[in-house]
Amino acid sequence: MSATYTLGIICLVFLLLLLACITYHPLKKYMLDWKALRPVPGLKGAYPIIGNALQFSSNAGDFFNQIIEGTAEFRHLPLLKVWVGPKPLVVLFHAETVEGVLQSSKHLDKSWFYRFLHPWLGTGLLTSTGDKWRGRRKMLTPTFHFSILAEFLEVMNEQTDVLIQKLEKQAGGDPFNCFNYVTLCALDIISETAMGKNIYAQSNSDSEYVRSVYKMSDIIVRRQRAPWYWSDLIYNMLGEGKEHDSRLRILHSFTQSVIRERAVNNCSDSKSDHVFKKRLAFLDMLLEATDEKGNYLSHSEIQEEVDTFMFEGHDTTAASMNWAIHLLGSYPEVQMKVQQELQEVFGFSNRSATTDDLKRLRYLGCVIKETLRLFPSVPMFARTVSDDCHINGFDIPKGVDAVIIPYALHRDPRYFPDPEEFRPERFLPENSTGRPPYAYIPFSAGPRNCIGQRFAMMEEKVVLSSVLRHFSIQACQSREELRPMGDLILRPEKGIWITLEKRQHEKEDNI
């Protein structure tokens, strides 16, 4: 037997042993989970290792329809088991099962699937876990105090004025897709409030940064759904992986430059004698923030939060406002009630909204809440079960991901009779008593709820109140034609098509 042959045998044995070591623990975990979860009702047709992955459509709209049809079909079940590749998921869409996970101080870790956001967002507030998340949440909570949010009102009003000018060119004309108009407005608002940087998205929607923000979300969702993309080694060799890296460089280089520029300017301002008031941004507060030991955040840590604000802070509100515009255009009697409230608060003036005005827009607040019930901006999210636990009588082992589906949860007829009907009155105080707190969670709930929900509600009231003061809306699509796509954010497949008519007092002002 030659020395070369012997060496080859030794190498082969070594590789087989290495492969066995690498796969032993994942395979052992997979077998234990399979056995432990056997009593949990699940989708049929799950194959070993690949699970139910082949049953899911690659088309975003079809995939979301599968999810919703499944939750409707299995609504009578307390929970549902799905295998995505070798990863087991338990799907929750009842208030009593959702509460068990969200109200717990144990199950705070985001699902394994959020790791695909790490290259873009790092481990900021959205994706971090454990002590880092607790410390960062404690540090950032004061920056969302109402008195600080009030300082952002000027930016919201200014960018909404730009939106109104854009929409005026469409008023009285043919049906048009308003989705991008509203989304670019939201992107301008979050850019200036988060970074102190006006990116003029409404005027320059073809900028590399703007296009990369949208493209990156699509890339991440496709990777989450495809187990064959999960390996970094394989993914980075594919065209999709190369585009991911290209978009990432654009996004990171932009926020890095803004942070450096803001840090230098803040330092210069502190040494100079001029007293003009600089417009506040979240970035300024991050540059000044310290942890419990008095340590400042590094620029890379600040970038994690700025990128997170940019990602979470525009797409979610933009989607919600677009859904609200569709619903208001589909229900003229609701639109009329909102416009009556606006006239009581603003009269026929075109002045900007104040914080006091926003507090008085109670019915508009109900419209936004009912919109978020029917079309929650984040239609599903996931947590990792951090310890063996019981959910509605079933044993769920540590490490399993619990997928919570607000889109289905919000349609529970026990708490929302005729759930597909758009009825803002559901959220009047007298109609909300007795409703379980975990039956309605558009901003998640419990210790890890959305830190930016006040900001979002404030922005939506500003934008929608201005649109409805200037125009009357008519929807051009039925509910069935919308085809929601449940990616990271819930969007309509073909946009929101409407017609606008200037309101009578607007026409008179222009004579």
Q: 91: burial class by Cβ within 10 Å (0-12, 13-18, 19+)? A: buried
492 forms beta bridges with 484
pLDDT at 165: 97
- Number of C-beta neighbours around residue 283 at 10 A: 25
Are 477 and 326 in contact by the 8 Å Cβ rule? The answer is: yes
Helix (H) and strand (E) counts in the chain: 21, 11
pLDDT of residue 359: 96
Q: Which residues are annotated as a binding site for heme?
A: 450
Per-residue pLDDT 10s for the chain (511 aa) are 566 655 555 555 445 444 444 444 567 777 777 787 888 887 777 777 777 777 777 777 787 888 888 888 888 888 888 887 788 889 999 999 999 899 988 888 888 888 999 999 999 888 888 888 888 888 888 888 878 888 899 999 999 999 999 999 999 999 999 999 999 999 999 999 999 888 899 998 778 888 888 788 889 888 887 878 888 988 998 889 999 999 999 999 999 999 998 888 776 665 555 444 567 888 998 888 877 777 888 899 999 999 998 888 888 999 999 999 999 999 999 999 999 999 999 998 989 999 999 999 999 999 999 999 999 999 999 998 888 888 888 888 888 889 999 999 999 999 999 999 999 999 999 999 999 999 999 999 999 999 999 999 999 999 999 999 999 999 999 988 998 987 788 999 889 999 999 997 655 555 4
Q: Where are the domains of the chain?
A: 37-509
Alpha helices, H only, 51-117: 60-73, 95-102
From CA 282, how far away is CA 302, in angstroms rounded?
10
Contacts of 187 (CB under 8 A, 6+ apart): 199, 201, 210, 213, 314, 318
pLDDT score recorded for residue 426: 97
Classify each residue of 252-270 as buried b or exposed e, where b means 16 or more C-beta atoms within 10 Å of its C-beta.
Answer: bebbbebbeebeeeeeeee
Which stretches of 343-456 are assigned E, i.e. beta strand? 381-384, 389-391, 394-396, 401-404
Rounded-to-integer distance, Cα 173 and Cα 325, Å:
17
Structure tokens at 163: 């939106």
Give me the pLDDT at residue 442, please: 96
Quote the CA–CA distance of 360 and 145 in Å, as a whole number.
Answer: 19
Residues 6+ apart with CB under 8 A from 139: 289, 290, 291, 297
| Tokens, residue 236 | 């980075």
Q: What are phi and psi of 268, to 5 degrees?
A: -65, -40
Q: How much is the pLDDT for 276?
A: 44
Give pLDDT, residue 271: 54
Residue length, the chain?
511
Is residue 50 classed exposed, middle or buried when 0-12, 13-18 and 19+ CB atoms within 10 A define those classes?
middle
What is the per-residue pLDDT for 153? Answer: 95
Residues in the annotated binding site: 450
Instruction: Name beta bridge partners: 474.
Output: 499
- What integer pLDDT is reported at residue 14 of this predicted model? 46
pTM score, whole prediction: 0.88
Query: Nearest-5° angle of CA 457, CA 370, CA 218?
Result: 70
Q: Cα Rg for the chain, rounded, in angstroms?
A: 25
CA distances from 162 to 138, 158, 200, 463, 466 (A): 35, 7, 10, 11, 11
| Residues 6 or more apart whose Cβ sits within 8 Å of residue 215 | 243, 247
Placement of tokens 């707190």 in the chain: 437
The tokens of 266 are what? 């803040």
Architecture of domain 37-509: Orthogonal Bundle (1.10)
pLDDT at 20: 45
User: H-type helices in 76-178, by residue range?
Assistant: 95-102, 118-121, 130-140, 146-149, 153-168
Per-residue tokens: 337? 């009630």
Residue 27's CB: how many other CB atoms inside 10 A?
13
| pLDDT value of residue 5 | 54
Q: For residue 411, give the nearest of 447, 443, 441, 381 by alpha carbon.
A: 441
